[in-house]
Chains A and B, each alone.
Chain A
């Protein structure tokens, strides 16, 4: 072990201790940042000790949930692993996660048997691939994110190709066959590919709504869809050449979505149940199952791990407030919001005017300062199903206008403050009611803080994050 690495680990740990003593919450990036200054290659020096497989998980949406499911499966399989669960998904976050696992010498105990599981930000992929030389590299999907963040979808695709060029040639890449932008990563990849996808005609929709323009990189032809599940995701084929959705090794079918859980079948494993709902979460599960299979984990561990997964922060959390069930469904971009709306439509099961929904829009840095994206979201999808609605957040007026044009009923309140919003929700509902809350990121933080202040107790709230 080298002295610089040991010094970096010591500096990072001291920074972590310092920020905790000062009471600065969530200081998960700081130790890594400090340690990287001492040893810029700290992620490589620590991470490459891990001999039980190094896994990178990325994608616009679902990377957190996917890596959490993999973690549960690893736990069930009895495999030691390191996961940046609480850490950020940038290089400094990976460094923070790793340095707290290391001894003062810089050696990670049991490293040869330990699996490294890393959720990685899209733009961090090239650096992470170079540092960690992953054996498994999973890509969940590629959507337009807030455009003031990375610019273009093409930019992300180019970063991913750069990351693959830096990955070991015999790494297995795990790809979503139903997302043509992810699928094209297979072209030019000479190593093994493990495909996942959905085979359930009942979940195909005529109404795909807004989606990013996509066409064939090979020939410029447009894509046609035999089935479209949402956005540009489905059973695609090129109308100009013979490129089409690949056959999948891990295939989900027989989906059933409930309020709190989803069931589906995977060939070779059987019926599976998980306490997460939404088609998007089934895709996350399929990605995780692929990763588990590539790591050689047994079907029993996969089934048991799925059954134990818990929602990520702000996603599908439930708070009890004066007898109302407040269900948080975080949305960070148009694709995520569309999937939540589709879920609401599915949960209504055809009943009109029954759903109670609050939509919260903030425009702070972490939300994206440009609220135009709300016009790319198909709030129309749930217009008939919504019976009462409330609108909150810094840009509540913009959201109220969006919902007016989408044909939603007139809102019970259009207010900025979370306290006023909760008052209005309580006034407009009865004990036992289910209320779906669809917030952007910082609006979710504010609302959560107000719920905690009011003593609302949730099923997942005890988990410190």
Chain B
């Protein structure tokens, strides 16, 4: 790797919540992206898997990641997540960076209501609720392009539930191509502090390096101080994948540029 000189030796502690259970749609790619972008900058990334029943102190971590799962899997972890919820909320209020995707995103809202009225309680990090419109409704499936504060974000969505944000809840981005939270209001995902919730996989972080670096920088500054900078990397491969996903979305997803 001929790149910029490694930054001073930093360490980041990443908690990966329920990696064996919530790992649908290539969620592992997000860990690989964080690891890669740390490694080439000489930052040590220590990944701790947190499973059902494991003790979890979010204050002891610099980053949190949680992926999506199938229905049965979400029910399996929900109770455990609710027990961990208050500590996670407090840590997010304290600036903890996090990325939660799809099912993880839904469970970080208030609740998930299935089409028969059954409720899976969430942990209310985000002010939102997800409702499943029933088996006859189409799933929201396809390529997505968002406008976000960190620029364009590309990914792929595949969800049956429709997510509705509370009045003050900031979305992660605005949908330019695709369905977004509920196929109605043009919002996608949610943000609170440095925590991002989204339906996008693809995987999200590899081809959106700006988001990856935003999470890493927030984590480093929170731990080591506001003057930490991230040296830029050669992102030719990342940008090529990003552009390719954008072109595909323009060809086959609804919306306009």
Chain A residues with CB under 8 Å of chain B are 147-148, 151-154, 210, 213, 215, 220, 363, 369-376, 394-398, 400-402, 404-406, 414
Asked if A154 and B237 sit within 8 Å, CB to CB, the answer is no
Chain A residues, CB < 8 A from B252: 369
Asked if A405 and B33 sit within 8 Å, CB to CB, the answer is yes
Nearest 6 interchain pairs by C-beta: A375-B29, A375-B26, A372-B26, A397-B244, A397-B240, A401-B241
Asked if B70 and A153 sit within 8 Å, CB to CB, the answer is yes
Q: What would 20 A/B residue contacts be, using CB atoms closer than 8 Å?
A: A147-B24, A148-B158, A151-B70, A210-B23, A369-B252, A370-B141, A370-B201, A370-B202, A372-B201, A373-B25, A375-B29, A375-B32, A376-B23, A397-B240, A397-B243, A397-B244, A398-B207, A398-B245, A405-B29, A405-B32
B73 on the interface (CB 8 Å rule)? yes
A369 to B202 CA separation, bound complex (whole angstroms): 10
A151 to B252 CA separation, bound complex (whole angstroms): 21
B142 on the interface (CB 8 Å rule)? yes
Chain B residues, CB < 8 A from A414: 240
Closest chain-B Cβ to A190's Cβ sits at a distance in Å of 26
B238 on the interface (CB 8 Å rule)? yes
Closest chain-A Cβ to B107's Cβ sits at a distance in Å of 16
**Most B CB atoms within 10 A — which of A147, A210, A220, A401?**
A401
Chain B residues, CB < 8 A from A401: 206-207, 237-238, 240-241
Chain A residues, CB < 8 A from B89: none
Asked if B237 and A372 sit within 8 Å, CB to CB, the answer is no
Per-position 1/0 for B4-31, Cβ under 8 A of A: 0000000000000000110111111100
Dominant secondary structure of chain A at its interface with chain B: helix
Asked if A375 and B28 sit within 8 Å, CB to CB, the answer is yes
A397 to B76 CA separation, bound complex (whole angstroms): 36
Closest chain-B Cβ to A118's Cβ sits at a distance in Å of 29
A374 to B29 CA separation, bound complex (whole angstroms): 9
Chain A residues, CB < 8 A from B72: 152, 154
Asked if A374 and B26 sit within 8 Å, CB to CB, the answer is yes
B36 on the interface (CB 8 Å rule)? yes
B69 on the interface (CB 8 Å rule)? yes
Give the residue name and chain of the B residue nearest to A370 (CB).
Answer: B156
B257 on the interface (CB 8 Å rule)? no
Chain B residues, CB < 8 A from A213: 20-21, 23, 69, 73
Chain B residues, CB < 8 A from A151: 70
Which residue of A210, A370, A400 is within 8 Å of B158 (Cβ)? A370
In the complex where A153-B70, A405-B36 touch, is A373 in contact with B241 (Cβ < 8 A)? Answer: no
A309 to B241 CA separation, bound complex (whole angstroms): 40
B229 on the interface (CB 8 Å rule)? no
In the complex where A147-B158, A213-B69 touch, is A371 in contact with B202 (Cβ < 8 A)? Answer: yes
Per-position 1/0 for B67-97, Cβ under 8 A of A: 0011111001000000000000000000000
Chain B residues, CB < 8 A from A396: 244
**Known A370-B158, A375-B26, A402-B29; further 8 A-B contacts with Cβ < 8 A:** A148-B141, A213-B21, A215-B76, A220-B76, A370-B202, A372-B202, A376-B23, A401-B207
Asked if B73 and A375 sit within 8 Å, CB to CB, the answer is no
In the complex where A153-B70, A372-B201, A405-B206 touch, is A398 in contact with B20 (Cβ < 8 A)? Answer: no
Chain A residues, CB < 8 A from B207: 398, 401
Give the residue name and chain of the A residue nearest to B29 (CB).
Answer: A375
Asked if A372 and B29 sit within 8 Å, CB to CB, the answer is yes
Chain A residues, CB < 8 A from B238: 401
B230 on the interface (CB 8 Å rule)? no
Which residue of B23, B27, B158, B244 is within 8 Å of A398 (Cβ)? B244
Which residue of B32, B69, B203 is within 8 Å of A372 (Cβ)? B203
Give the residue name and chain of the A residue nearest to B37 (CB).
Answer: A405
Chain A residues, CB < 8 A from B24: 147
